[in-house]
A = this chain, B = another copy of it.
Amino acid sequence: MVSLFVRIDLNSHGQIGPGKIDLLEQISERGSISAMGMSYRRAWELVEELNATFGRPLVESRAGGKAGGGADLTPLGYFVIGRYRAIQKAVEQASHGHLSALQAEIYAKRR
């Protein structure tokens, strides 16, 4: 029930948090720039923020074909997902004991 929210702050280069990472994962799964509960316009804005952060694309369009084109992640896009998820896992493992201790105090018999 206690959890950590983790955001990577890149100063003038922006921020990377769970919203952008979830979006990248959904683009990879769907093969297009779209995500549950997010407008196409908003998804594009976030992709452009990510591309600007790294100075080169994390997402690229694919040429047409029968399906009328779509989008996929670049190797850099997969690299960023991988590093973020690794950070998230490392952070959860490193903080687990402390979070349990805080949770115990919250649920302690209230004195």
Contacts and interface: CB of A to CB of B under 8 A. Distances in A.
Dominant secondary structure of chain A at its interface with chain B: helix
Interface string A80-111: 10010011001101110011011101101011
Contacts of A56: 110-111
Contacts of A5: 5-9, 15
A98 B110 CA distance: 40
* Interface size range of chain A in the complex: 35 or more
Nearest to A76: B105
A29 to B, nearest CB: 23
Interface in A27-71: 53-56
Interface of A: 1-11, 13, 15-16, 53-56, 76, 79-80, 83, 86-87, 90-91, 93-95, 98-99, 101-103, 105-106, 108, 110-111
